[in-house]
Amino acid sequence: MKKFLLFLAVTAILLTGCGDKEKSTVTVTSPKITLGSMITTEPIVKKIKEKLVASGFNAETVLFDANNAAAIACKDGDLTAFVHNHKPWIDTFNKEKSANLTVVEPFIFYYRFAIYSAKHTSLDALPDGATIVVPNDPTNLDMSLRFLSSLGFLKLGEKRENFYTMLDIKENIKNIKFFETDVATVARNMSEVDAVISSAIRVKQAGFDPAKFLVEDTTSKTFAVGLSLKMDSVKDAWVKVANDYVQSNEFKTWFADEYKGALALY
Amino acid sequence: MTENFELWADYTEKIIIPSIGATLRMTFFSMFFACIFGIILAIFLVLYGPHCNLNPKPKTYKVLDFFVNMIRSFPIIILIVAISPLTKILVGTTLGEKAAIFPLTIAAIPFIARVIENALNEVDKQLIEVGKSFGASNLQIIMLYMIKEAVPAITAGITLCSINFLTATTLAGAVGAGGLGAVALNYGYQSFNNFILYFTVLIILVLVEILQISGNLVYKKLK
């Protein structure tokens, strides 16, 4: 029992130690601007930080490794702004956590979702009975099927549940043969089949050129990403500086060169 | 209500039944190949191993033993991904059932070999002495005396292994092989459809029961 109490005390001390440290770097009363990101978007916030520092602001970047961590930190006021989650995600986050985060327009980029092929160079070249790999999780499968339907490759019936599934294909006009695989492995199979439906970033990770897609899903522009912050800080002086910067040709040229099509400029 | 019924009928006909086929094919073929190679590997393990005193070669045995343990230590989903370049060379594709059967076989070989090795090591040592006194070669001793004696134990081991790999095939959905596991995960769990999830689990349960019961029957016949 004594040992257990001692253990508790030590843990408590250690934990408070950690907490203090974090706070000292994040919430300082001076108007320090902290910009959060995930590993993919880190170069973007670093670039914005450089610009802000050059313009005389006190700015720094923080790297997060969980999808919702930056949003939570921003909501709690520990983080000034972040670039990572897309607009629909932020909207849902606001609703579920009763937060008031907003994505500043104009947006910076969006996650491209497209048809890629290592064998064919155009959509028309896809043969009848083409083999296509699609992600097998419901959200991505739903998106892929609606995408193919918008291209006229198949006809979908009425959606009977939350997501479109293989069951809702009423007419397979192009006689597509589907392979459903884990979303992370879809792009890896590019040389095995006629085409894959994947996000550009996964295509890049699989070692293919993310800019060489046959056609991109027009709805992927809905998943726009930009500088996300609390509604009340939208009017802050630095936001305008940052915003002007991400719209500049200098930034856009850098972005295209950095991501090479894995993320698409909005 | 009728609409719901139609939906379930659709699910059963187009999703669940084909996936039962896929699961059974994957289990059968991976077990079939794994048994062939597993028995060969087990014979070497017994021949060079220290237990039966046939032709002990400690160094060779250590190497074989190491490889058996190494492959057995891989989680199957990792093995599927890790040996995909080899799968590509040997099977010609990294997609679909065939691409899943290869890594499943690779994973099953050491498992089966170990089970058979243990079964053979349990054979009465006097039987080996008898064989030797008749002037039988080591291979003859293993093939004619030991395996014959160990058949019931081997059957039980293969039943155990088959069930293990029936459930392992549920991971093969990741490489587009389909199967009941992929259905339970994607159409059940991830789509918030508990009916599909538990219905699929129930089917897997039934398949496992069938395997175990038939395994037991064969065991009784042979014993």
Q: Say whether residue A207 is in contact with chain B using an 8 A CB cutoff.
A: no
Give B23-67 pLDDT, tens digit per residue: 999 999 999 999 999 999 999 999 999 888 888 899 999 999 999
Residues A122 and A165 grouped into a single domain: yes
Please give the C-alpha separations between residue B207 and each of B18, B107, B173, in angstroms, as whole numbers.
Answer: 15, 21, 18
Question: What is the structure's pLDDT at B5?
Answer: 80
Question: Which residues of chain B lie closer than 8 angstroms to A141, CB-CB?
Answer: 186
Chain-centre distance of CA A153, in angstroms? 27
Domain assignment present for A102: yes
Q: For tokens 């300082």, name the residue.
A: A28
Whether A140 and A215 map to the same domain: the answer is yes
Residue A5 lies in a domain: no
B15-222 topology per CATH: MetI-like fold (1.10.3720)
Instruction: Chain B: give the shortest CA distance to residue A159, in Å.
Output: 11
Q: Is residue A94 part of a domain?
A: yes
The answer to whether residue A20 sits within a structural domain is no
- Nearest 5°: the CA angle A235, A237, A239 is 70
Query: In this structure, is the dihedral angle defined by the CA atoms of residues B74, B77, B78 and B82, taken in order, positive or negative?
Result: positive
> In terms of domains, do A41 and A73 share one?
yes
In a domain, A16, yes or no: no
Q: Cβ(B34)–Cβ(B169) under 8 Å?
A: no
Residues A118 and A214 in one domain: yes
Q: What pLDDT, on a 0 to 100 scale, did the predictor assign at position A74?
A: 92
Number of domains forming the structure of chain A: 2
Give mean pLDDT in consecutive 10-residue pieces for chain B, a chain of 223 residues.
Answer: 73 89 94 95 93 88 94 89 89 88 94 94 89 88 90 94 91 86 87 88 95 94 87
- A171 vs B: CB within 8 A: no
Check residue A14 and give its pLDDT.
54
User: How close, in Å, is residue A25 to chain B by CA atoms?
Assistant: 39
**Is residue A26 situated within a structural domain?**
no
Q: Are residues A212 and A249 in the same domain?
A: no
Instruction: Identify the pLDDT of residue A138.
Output: 86
A-chain residues within 8 Å CB-CB of B10?
167
Same domain, A81 and A151: no
Are A180 and B93 an interchain contact pair (Cβ–Cβ within 8 Å)? Answer: no
Same domain, A37 and A80: yes
- Which CATH number do you get for residue A189? 3.40.190.10
DSSP class per residue in A160-188: -SSS--GGGEEE-TT-PEEEEE-TTTTGG
ipTM of the complex: 0.74
Contact A133, A196 (CB under 8 A): yes
Q: Where are the domains of chain B?
A: 15-222
- End-to-end Cα separation, chain A, in angstroms: 60
Q: Is B188 exposed, middle or buried (0-12, 13-18, 19+ CB in 10 A)?
A: buried
Query: How far is residue B49's CA from residue B35's CA, in Å, rounded to a whole number?
Result: 20
Name residues whose C-beta falls within 8 Å of residue B130's C-beta, 6 or more positions apart in sequence.
B145
Segments forming the whole domain that contains residue A103: 31-110+223-265
Query: Quick one: A233 and A214 in the same domain?
Result: no
The pLDDT value recorded for residue A15 is: 55
| 8 Å CB contact between A228 and A75 | no
Q: Which two tokens stand for residue B179?
A: 């199967």
Q: Which two tokens stand for residue B105?
A: 């076989």
**Nearest CB to B15 within list A167, A179, A181:** A167
pLDDT per residue of chain A (266 residues) written in tens, 0 to 9 = 556 655 655 555 555 544 444 444 444 345 789 999 998 899 999 999 999 999 989 999 999 988 888 999 999 989 999 999 999 889 988 988 889 999 998 899 998 999 999 999 998 899 999 999 999 888 889 999 999 999 999 999 888 777 898 888 999 999 999 999 988 889 988 988 999 999 998 999 889 999 899 999 988 888 899 999 999 888 888 999 999 999 999 999 999 999 888 898 88
Q: Is residue A14 part of a domain?
A: no
* A-chain residues near B93 (CB < 8 A): 192
The answer to whether the CB atoms of B14 and A167 lie below 8 A apart is: yes
| Same domain for A151 and A77 | no
Residue A232 to chain B, least CA–CA distance (Å):
36
Could you tell me if residue A23 is inside a domain?
no
